[in-house]
Chain A
Amino acid sequence: MTMAEDPAASPPAGSSLEFKAALLLVLLALLLGASVVYLMYARGAFEETQRLVLIADDSEGVLVGMDMTFSGFPIGRVGRIELADDGSVRILIDVPRKDVHRLRTSSVFTLTRGLVGGTYLRAYSGIPADPPLPADAERRVLVGDATAEIPQLVGETRELVRNLAALTAPDSALATSLGNLQRVTERLQGPRGALGVLFGNEADARKLIAALDRGNALLARADSFAAKVDTAVFGANGMAPEARAAVLQLNAALADARSALKQVGTLLEQAQAVARNAEVATADLGVLRAEVEASLRKVGGMIDEIDRRWPFAREPELRLP
């Protein structure tokens, strides 16, 4: 006897069982239908969209279905990715009509790839007053790739490490300098200390010390000499008091000189008066002189006349050879 034929094991047979089985079938159909509709809604199948084309050099990290965000909110979805004839990548984005107004002609689109996490497509609209983005607009996407800098960084780091290795090598200049410094330190701790380091040998250091000693002795002698000079100059019988007395005498002499000069001034005034008289006399002398000159010219003329008449008169002409 099968279970189908066993009345004890069977649930209520007939239409009730069929109804319950039908309920289960309906439940499955409902669940499947609702799931399909929900997934289609989630995939944006019922949304009216506008196409936007972003052009990039590299589509790495960009996936069909990924979101494009605006201020952190998804406003578009990558629908397709195409390779253009010129080698660039065309990322076709479906933007729902209700979100299109956020995109303007001046909007900027970026594609950023982080070290951790996925790739992000972002839109920025700086000037909300600009005209809205037209359908099928093509825009260049700006790529900000944190990992793009890594190869360069690694190269530079490698160079830096190589330089460091060269610096710290046993035969490097730095190691040699450090060795020299160590030797200098050891000599600094030696008997002659820094002097030995400065002169490089013991004898010269000793000479300097001897010179210093002699300098000290010289200074002591200069000190005693200065004391003697002090006594000689500023002592009771020194030069300074005598100089002071001399200055006083000089002052008295200057006073005498001042009075003498006043007398000279008086004399000069008198001399001026004499000179004025002499000037008047000189004017008279001019007339007298003119007369004397006239007399002399006449005498001269007479002498010339006598010369001409005189037989031994000299020949006045000059003869050219």
Chain B
Amino acid sequence: MSALLSSPGALAEMGRASLRWLAGWWRIVHFGAVILVLALSPSSYDRGQRPALARQIYLGTAPILLWFTVLSSLISLVVIRIVVVTALSYGLSKYALEMVVRVLVLELIPLTSAIFVALRCAIPNAAEVYDLRAQGGFAALTRAGVDPLRREVLPRVVAGMFSVLLLVAVACVVTLLLAYLSVHGFTTAGFAGYTRTVGRVFGPGVALIFVLKTFFLALAVGLIPIATVLFEGARTQLRLSAELQGLVRLFTVVLLIEAASLIGNYY
């Protein structure tokens, strides 16, 4: 009897949770649109804004750039070696380079860059924003006539995006160099063939998907953790912390973007 009575209550609770979930996503999308508008406004880059922006960009990227480059180079070397040796043992060495470029440059590096930046830069930035808001920093800025979104949030979102883009660019270039050196050694003799292989992989469709994927990964990494703490952090009744919630949402979006890129590339 109690189960029958509780059943409508459970359904209602489920409905409310779904609505909350949808509303949370809607707030993130809306916040993303606002941030994009701010990012595309020239006034966001005026003299008063530049120091904060430069600081966040530098702090978000410089400390992790070297480490990430070293780590990604090591992983790339291992993967390149495995792929090349395996392909050679099966007599498919002509496909090894193409596979290396596809696996590493197109798929793994953007994904690892996004996750790396999310863990080292975006989540700490979100925590800073949460603390700032909790300590009344937003209200103080508003009282001082400064838009806290423009002053504190936008630089961190842009820094996260920039960090992902730079890490992807550096790691891709380094990986392409390592792949060439692993296969051909220190000689320029294989440059023409290697360039042709890279050109064959980066067809117009694949290149477009790669660019879109990297951009949306960067956007998600920059936006979602901060948006989550801004709109969900005030709720004390939630079991999960705002940072963890942001991470879960971010991984969901990253997964969706990766799946979409795979479908676009291979279907």
Residues of A within 8 A of B (CB): 1-4, 10-11, 13-14, 17-18, 20-22, 24-25, 27-28, 31-32, 34-35, 38-39, 41-44, 64-67, 74, 117
Contact = CB atoms under 8 A, between A and B. Distances in A.
A134 B27 CA distance: 63
Interface in B152-204: 152, 162, 165-166, 169-170, 172-173, 193, 195-196, 198-200, 202-203
B104 to A, nearest CB: 15
B62 interface: yes
B199 A13 contact: no
Given A25-B57, A35-B172, 4 more contacts: A21-B57, A38-B198, A42-B198, A66-B200
B196 A67 contact: yes
10 contacts: A17-B51, A18-B50, A21-B53, A21-B57, A25-B162, A28-B165, A65-B203, A67-B196, A74-B193, A117-B92
A32 B137 contact: no
B234 to A, nearest CB: 18
B58 A4 contact: no
B85 interface: no
B255 interface: no
B55 A11 contact: yes
Main secondary structure of the interface of A (DSSP, over half): helix
B169 A43 contact: no
The 4 closest A-B pairs by CB, nearest first: A42-B199, A21-B54, A31-B169, A18-B54
Contacts of A43: 199, 202-203
A34 B170 CA distance: 11
Nearest to A45: B199
Contact of B199 (A4, A24, A31, A39): A39
Given A17-B55, A32-B169, A39 B152 contact: no
Given A28-B165, A35-B173, A41-B195, A4 B55 contact: yes
B72 interface: no
Given A11-B55, A20-B62, A22-B54, A44 B199 contact: yes
B52 interface: yes
Interface in B15-66: 50-55, 57-59, 61-62, 65
B198 A2 contact: no
B107 interface: no
Contacts of B55: 4, 10-11, 13, 17, 21
Contacts, number: 84
A28 B166 contact: yes
Contacts of A64: 203
Contacts of A67: 196, 200
B137 A2 contact: yes
Contact of A35 (B62, B137, B169): B169
A83 to B, nearest CB: 20
Contact of B51 (A13, A22, A74): A13
A66 B207 CA distance: 16
A27 B171 CA distance: 13
A27 B199 contact: no
Given A3-B128, A28-B162, A39 B207 contact: yes
B119 interface: no
A28 to B, nearest CB: 5
Contact of B58 (A11, A34, A44): A11
Nearest to A10: B55
A14 B52 CA distance: 10
Given A39-B207, A44-B199, A31 B54 contact: no
B132 interface: yes
A42 B202 contact: yes
Contacts of A3: 128
A1 B202 CA distance: 48
A93 to B, nearest CB: 14
A166 B195 CA distance: 59
A290 B256 CA distance: 161
Interface string B66-79: 00000000000000
A131 B92 CA distance: 37
A131 B141 CA distance: 80
Contacts of B200: 65-67
Contacts of A65: 199-200, 203
A4 B196 contact: no
B139 to A, nearest CB: 12
Nearest to A29: B169
A13 to B, nearest CB: 7
A15 to B, nearest CB: 9
